[in-house]
Chains A and B, each alone.
Chain A
Amino acid sequence: MHWRKPWAAWLYLAPALLIVLAYLVYPTVATFYYSFLDAHSEHFVGLTNYRWVFTSRAMHIAFRNNLLWIVVFTSATVGLGLVLAVMADRVRYESVVKSAIFLPMAISFVGAGVIWLFMYAYRPANAPQIGVLNAIWVGIFHNHPVGWLTTRSVNNFALIAVGVWIWTGFNMVILSAAYKNIPRELLEAARVDGANEWKVFWKIVLPLMKPTLAVVVTTMIINVLKVFDIVYVMTNGNYGTEVLANRMYKEMFHYYNFGRASAIAVVLLLAIIPVMLVNNRRFREQEAL
C-alpha cells in the first residue's frame, strides 16, 4: 500500500456528499416535517394531512388507480417482455424486432403522450375518424366511436397501454440477457429426455429466471408508484384517472396545500421502501448466481 493523507478521500467525496445532502437528505427530512404542518407550513396539525390522505375521496381514486397500474402495467410489461425475449431468441432477425420494441424507451413520456393522444383521437360518428383506434373500432367493427380517454371504464387502461408501449422493451432486454445466460446444454438435455418446448419453458427456463424476474417486477412497481407524466399530459387526472404523483402536483400548484402534498410524498416513499428492499435482496441473489 502507498502512503496517503487521511483526509484526501474526503476531498474526492466532498462535492458528491454536499450535493446529496442538499438535494436528497435535507429535502426528505423537511418534507417529513411539512407533512405534519398545515397548508402553508405554519402550524402543527398532527396527523390531519394523513387522515385526509387515507380517507378523502380524491385520494381513494388515486390509490385505486395506482393499484390498477401496479397490477396491469407490471404484469403486461413483464409478461410481454418475457414472451418476446424468448420468441425473438429463435429467429435470425432478433435484433431488428428487439430494436423496434425497445425504441420507445428513447421517447419522452410527453412525446409518447402526443403520439397516443393521436392514436386515441375521437371524432363524432358522422366525421371521418383520424385516430387509429377509432378508425378500426368504427370502420371494421362498425361500433360507435369511443372517447378512449374520457370514458371511465376504459381510460385507465388506455393510459396504462401507453406505459406498456414504452417499458416493455426495457424488460425484454433484461430478460433476454438472462435467458441467454441459461446454459444451452441444459435445455438440450431436457429436450433429449422428451420434454416439449412448453415443459422446458415452465420447468427449466422460468425457475432459472426467477431472480431476474423478481428484479424486473420490483423495478416496474417502483416505476409505477411514481408515474406522473403520462397522466399529466394525457388527461391531467380528469375522468377518474388521477394517480398519487399527479394528485401531489395538484395539491402543490392548484390548491397550494403543501401539508397534504408532503403527506402524499411521504406515503409514496413508505410504499417504495419495502419494494426496494425486496429488489435489493433479489439483486444480490442474482449476482451470486
Chain B
Amino acid sequence: MMMTRVLRRLSRLPLHAVLLAAGLLWMTPTIGLFVSSLRPPDAVMRTGWWTVFAHPLSFSQFTLQNYIQILTAQGMGRAFLNSLIITVPATVIPIGVASFAAYAFAWMEFRGRDVLFGIVVGLMVVPLQMTLIPLLRAYNHLGLAGTYVGVWLAHTGYGLPFAIYLLRNFFGALPRDLLESAYLDGASDLTAFFRLVLPLSIPALASLAIFQFLWVWNDLLVALIYLGGTENVAPLTLKLSSLINSLGQNWHLLTAAAFVSMAFPLVVFLALQRYFVRGILAGSVKG
C-alpha cells in the first residue's frame, strides 16, 4: 500500500517539474523587469538583476529614483493620464453603441435583419491596416488627426463588429418568455432594453469591457497612426516606444517606464480574470 503510494507520487514528479519550470520560465522576464526598475543605474549596468537575490533582504540595494525620474522628467506621468483619457471613452462608446445595435439584431424585427447582421460580423475580417490610409487622409482634412476624439471613434469602429457579435449572441439567449411578457405588459423597446436586457447582461458587458479596455490600453498601431508626432496626447505605449529609441541602454529608466505602462492593466486583469476568460471563451468557443 505504502509502496504504491510512494511510487505514484514519484511517477508524478516529472509532471510537477515541467509545470514548475513552465511557470518559472513565464514569470522570469517580468520579474527581471520589475527588479531592474528598482535598482540604481550603476548596479543595473554592472551586474545582472538576479544578483539581488544573493541578499534578498538588504533593501538598500533598491531605489524608487527611476520611477520618480520617468514619471516627471521623461513625461510618463502625462502619458499615463493620456492613456486613461483615451481608454475610458474608447471602451464605453463602442459598448454603448454596440448594445443598441445588438438589441435590434436580437429582439426587433425588420427586413434584411440576418443579412445585415452577417455583413457587420463579416467585417471582423478587415485588418486594421486596410483602413489606415483613407482614414488618416480624412482625419487630416477634418482636423481629427492628433485628437482624442479621433482615436475614440477609430477604436469604436474597429471594436464594433466583435462587440455586436458577442452581445447579440448573449442578448438573443435571454429567456424569450421574459421579454414577451414585458412587451405584453406594455413595456416599450427602450424600457425592455434598459430595465431587462442590460441588467441581465452584466456578465457579458463586463467581459467585453475588459477586452476592449486591454485592447485599447495596450494598442500601439492606432495611436501611432492617428496620434503619431503629437507628443502631448501620446498614450503610454507610444511614449514607451519612443523612449526605447531615446533612452537606449538606460535600462534602469526603460524598465521603470515599461512597468508603469503595465501596472494598471495587470491589476485590472488579475482582479477580473474570470470575466476576461469568459469573454475569450464566448468569442472563440462555446462557453
Does A106 sit at the interface, judged by CB under 8 A? Answer: yes
Does A2 sit at the interface, judged by CB under 8 A? Answer: yes
Query: Is B32 a contact partner of A276 (Cβ separation < 8 A)?
Result: no
Query: Is A27 a contact partner of B285 (Cβ separation < 8 A)?
Result: no
Does A286 sit at the interface, judged by CB under 8 A? Answer: yes
Which residues of B lie under 8 Å from residue A22 when comparing CB positions?
157
Which residues of A lie under 8 Å from residue B33 when comparing CB positions?
114-115, 118
Of the listed stretches B2-10, B55-63, B100-108, B201-209, chain A binds B100-108
Query: Is B189 a contact partner of A8 (Cβ separation < 8 A)?
Result: yes
Query: Is A108 a contact partner of B22 (Cβ separation < 8 A)?
Result: no
Which of B14-72 touch A at CB < 8 Å? 15-16, 18-19, 22-23, 26-30, 32-33, 36, 44-50
Query: Is B261 a contact partner of A4 (Cβ separation < 8 A)?
Result: no
Does A102 sit at the interface, judged by CB under 8 A? Answer: yes
C-alpha gap A83/B251 in the complex (Å): 35
Secondary structure type dominating chain A contacts: helix
C-alpha gap A8/B257 in the complex (Å): 49
Does B140 sit at the interface, judged by CB under 8 A? Answer: no
**1/0 contact string of B212-245 vs chain A (CB within 8 Å):** 0010011111001000100000001100110010
- Which residue of A has the minimal Cβ distance to B111? A6
Which of A92-118 touch B at CB < 8 Å? 93, 96-97, 99-111, 113-118
Which residues of B lie under 8 Å from residue A60 when comparing CB positions?
none
Does B130 sit at the interface, judged by CB under 8 A? Answer: yes
C-alpha gap A81/B255 in the complex (Å): 28
Interface size for B (C-beta < 8 A) is 93
Given contacts A100-B27, A119-B29, contact A105 B97 (CB under 8 A): no
Which residues of B lie under 8 Å from residue A253 when comparing CB positions?
228
C-alpha gap A87/B14 in the complex (Å): 10
Nearest Cβ on chain A to B100's Cβ, whole angstroms: 4
Which residues of B lie under 8 Å from residue A226 when comparing CB positions?
127-129
Secondary structure type dominating chain B contacts: helix
Which residues of B lie under 8 Å from residue A91 when comparing CB positions?
15-16, 19
Does A150 sit at the interface, judged by CB under 8 A? Answer: no
Interface size for A (C-beta < 8 A) is 96
Which residues of A lie under 8 Å from residue B132 when comparing CB positions?
27, 252, 265
Which residues of B lie under 8 Å from residue A283 when comparing CB positions?
284-285
- Which residue of B has the minimal Cβ distance to A8? B189
Nearest Cβ on chain A to B279's Cβ, whole angstroms: 11
Does A248 sit at the interface, judged by CB under 8 A? Answer: yes
Which residues of A lie under 8 Å from residue B164 when comparing CB positions?
16
**1/0 contact string of A68-91 vs chain B (CB within 8 Å):** 000000000000000010011011
Query: Is B109 a contact partner of A4 (Cβ separation < 8 A)?
Result: yes
Nearest Cβ on chain B to A29's Cβ, whole angstroms: 8
Query: Is A229 a contact partner of B44 (Cβ separation < 8 A)?
Result: no
C-alpha gap A41/B178 in the complex (Å): 55
Query: Is B133 a contact partner of A101 (Cβ separation < 8 A)?
Result: no
Of the listed stretches A42-50, A184-192, A256-264, chain B binds A256-264
Which residues of A lie under 8 Å from residue B143 when comparing CB positions?
none
Query: Is A118 a contact partner of B124 (Cβ separation < 8 A)?
Result: no
Given contacts A226-B127, A269-B127, contact A132 B100 (CB under 8 A): no
- Which residue of B has the minimal Cβ distance to A264? B129
Given contacts A9-B108, A121-B251, A232-B220, contact A27 B131 (CB under 8 A): yes
Contacts A16-B160, A84-B19 known; list 9 others, CB within 8 Å: A103-B26, A103-B30, A104-B26, A108-B219, A115-B30, A216-B284, A225-B127, A269-B125, A272-B125
Chain A to chain B contacts (Cβ below 8 Å), 6 pairs: A23-B154, A27-B132, A100-B23, A118-B36, A118-B251, A265-B133
Lowest 3 A-B CB distances belong to which pairs? A23-B157, A108-B218, A106-B269
